[in-house]
Structure 1
Amino acid sequence: MLTIAVTGATGAQGGATARALLTAGHRVRALTRHPASPAAEALRGLGAEVRHADFDDRPSLAAALTGADSLFAVTTPFGTDTATEVRQGKALVDAAAEARLGHIVFTSAAHADRGTGIPHYESKHLVEQNLRTAGVPWTVIAPAAFMDNYASGWTLDGLRDGTFAWPMPADRPLTLIPASDIGAFAALVLQRRDEFTGRRIDIASDERTPGQMAEILAAAIGRPIAHQEVPLAYVRTRSADLAAMFEYFTTVGLDVDATALRRDYPEVNWHSFTDWAVAQDWPALLSMAPAHQ
């Protein structure tokens, strides 16, 4: 049994990883800035030890990591900025090195090591570079586009009106993964340290075009859904970072071999986009207040 510290434990990737590790019988130390939040309470109910930790508070990181065997590390620029993400990621890696952890699994982004020019990919690559020189055994897992984003925000707003609004052509393939599969793969890597140390692995569960996604969503929701290509110029008025990402998805694309991953790691129980779509509670999601209100 391992004791594994999980950052972002109240978020999508960290939460999925914590649940997968708890299911496998390991001790999970859930690190969060908000230990009294409903998400933290839910993890407590599953058996996790919830610890307060703040990336900008080095003593809190040191206390939370002391005595752990391994660390699942996730960083994000959303809600702050990419410079903050890099600073916090470096602080986390350095604190884990000082605590002499036996393994750090960092979740990045597929292709973040390829000079994409996407700001929130480049920031993750800088954290990756720091990780490689920290003197701690490491693995980088790099997820493709998140399926979970299709059930929130402006995408969900569009679905209410029968539109799958997405800033890509209808016929351009995109590799995809749900948070649950990221968590399951991360748990596998953390449990098989020797096999995965020193490796960087892009991961995805499925590949679909926006046209196919609209058809799958229509079948899952039970109403007609048509793909509508959102102009990149419009996305750019909201976020230059996201516009750069969608431009990369359209021009270069994310070539992640989901078929090979399914073959090599069947124990992850990978989910197709259809699997994910039919598992969502669409009546509840679609009845929520729109994101722009």
Structure 2
Amino acid sequence: MSVHNAGPVHNAGPVHNAGPVHNDLVLVTGPTGQQGGATARRLLAAGRPVRALVRDPESTAAQELAAAGAELAHGDFDDPQSLATAMSGARAAFLVPPAVFGPDGWNIELEARRGLDLVAAARTAGVEHLVFTGIASFDQEDSWGANGKRRIEKAVQASGLHWTILRPVRFMENYLARGLVVDGIHNGVHRHLFPAGRPIQMVALDDVADFAVLAFTDPERFHGHVIELAGDARTMAAAAAKISEVTGHPVRYEEVSEAEASTLGDSIINVWRMSREGRGWHADIPALREIHPGLRTFDTWLAETGAAQLKPLLAG
């Protein structure tokens, strides 16, 4: 199942309240990134007060959030004191610590430490509800870099707070990526690790945000739930054909070869091999649509925003 209760969890100990909680204020981490930005905008649109944790309050993205009504909090994932200050007075927090991927693969220790620091800051500040967004479960998780996120999940579950964990699959917005060896569309070619003929799950960023808002709106209902998130499943070849149809620009799919994948690190080649063994994401899309009837299909995403964003990229 894609939506399940994780069962009993261990309390991490007493929670020290740093002071009165301010109404329904939500601290959003990563608000200038994809998931944090979408969630901050959705919360503001729903009338929920938002405090955005930003490294550079003067950046264009931060100023756009401020103009939309968000309170800006200057802070850094590697500065625990700034996290404590940002959390103070918030009722809830959206956690999306950045993953770090370098030449040697995922920096799991850094990612996990950042997440654990966020959870600790939330507990100390008296935050009542955490929504953590990580990554969808995949077979043989030890082999492809999910360990950092799973360690953060365990800390969230053991926090003693209300909590909800979101596990999104690959984003539909990845088609807009530029400069990546894998994903995005370059010169009319979309290259990825997956077999051309196997349906691969995907989700729109706005749906991740929608589920986060649902959880923040009804924390009792969503407490203790781990939610695998996807909105559609298409073969990579069929998705490329659909993009061609709606944009008027020919796009074809090309599988990354095993030889090339092996040069990109252990995590990449492991995903390449597992996907050819029939392993992959397993969100229960019909069950998700019962919770969120507006859950976007790939066609919906293209019609709403995707095609309009893709056209200038493909024309360039």
Give the TM-score normalised by structure 2. 0.84
Determine the structure 2 residue equivalent to 1:283.
311
Pairing 1:35–2:57 present? yes
Q: In the alignment, which residue of structure 2 is the partner of 1:78?
A: 100
> Per-residue deviation at 1:246?
4.1
Offset, 1:151:
1.1
Distance 1:35 1:25 in 2: 22
The residue aligned with 2:292 is 265
Displacement of 1:248 in angstroms is 3.6
Structure 1 residues 130 and 165, CA gap change in structure 2 (3 angstroms): same
Provide the C-alpha distance between the structure 2 equivalents of 1:215 and 1:169, rounded to a whole number of angstroms: 15
Deviation of the 1:224 alpha carbon: 2.2
- Letter of the structure 2 residue corresponding to residue 66 of structure 1: S
CA-CA distance at 1:238 after TM superposition? 2.8
State the shift of 1:197 in Å: 0.7
Contact 2:43 2:49 in 1 (8 A): yes
Aligned counterparts of 1:225 and 1:39: Cα–Cα separation in 2: 31
Contact kept in structure 2, 1:66 and 1:99, CA below 8 Å:
yes
The SS at the match of 1:255 is coil
> Which of 123, 140, 146 does residue 121 from structure 1 map onto?
146
| More contact order relative to length (CA 8 Å, sep ≥ 6) | 2
Aligned partner of 2:240 in structure 1 is 214
2:212 aligns with one of 183, 186, 191: 186
**TM-score of the aligned structures, taking structure 1 as reference length:** 0.90
Equivalent position to 2:169, from 144, 148, 160: 144
Counterpart residue type for residue 25 of structure 2: T
Separation of aligned partners in 1, 2:183 and 2:109: 30
Aligned match of 1:242: 268
1:129 is displaced (CA, Å) by: 1.0
Q: Contact conserved, 1:174 with 1:249, CA < 8 A, in 2?
A: no
Change (3 A) 1:7 1:212: same
Structure 2: gaps (5+ residues): 1-22
- CA deviation map 1:204-223 (0-9, x unaligned): 11111112111111112212
What is the alpha-carbon distance in structure 2 between the residues aligned to residue 18 and residue 161 of structure 1?
33
- For residues 118 and 182 of structure 1, the distance between their equivalents in structure 2, rounded to whole angstroms, comes to 25
Q: Is there any run of 5+ residues in structure 1 with no aligned partner, and where? A: 289-293
Report the CA distance between 1:255 and its aligned residue: 1.2
- Among all aligned residue pairs of Structure 1 and Structure 2, give the percentage whose two residues are the same amino acid: 35
Distance in 2, matches of 1:150 and 1:260, equals: 26
Q: Alignment partner of 1:120: what SS?
A: coil
Distance 1:99 1:234 in 2: 47
1:96 aligns with 2:122: yes
* CA apart distance, 1:160: 4.2
**Equivalent residue, structure 1, for 2:221:** 195
CA displacement at 1:125 relative to structure 2 = 0.4
Aligned-pair CA distance for 1:15: 0.4
1:214 to 1:38, Cα distance in 2 relative to 1, 3 A: same
Q: Which consecutive segments of 4 or more residues in structure 1 shift more than 6 A?
A: 155-158
Equivalence for 1:291:
none
Q: Deviations over 1:127-167 (max 9, x none)?
A: 11111222222110110111111111347987342222222
Q: CA RMSD in A?
A: 2.0
For 2:98 and 2:75, locate their aligned partners in 1 and report how far apart those are by CA, in whole Å.
15
1:232/1:188 Cα in 2 relative to 1: closer, same or farther (>3 Å)? farther
- The answer to whether the Cα contact below 8 Å between 1:181 and 1:270 also exists between their aligned partners in 2 is yes
Asked if 1:66 is matched to 2:88, the reply is: yes
- The aligned counterpart of 1:50 is 72
The residue identity in structure 1 corresponding to 2:50 is V
Preserved CA contact (<8 Å) 1:115 1:122: no
Judging by fraction of residues, say which structure has more helix.
1
- Using a 3 Å threshold, how does the CA distance of structure 1 residues 169 and 141 change in structure 2: closer, same or farther? same
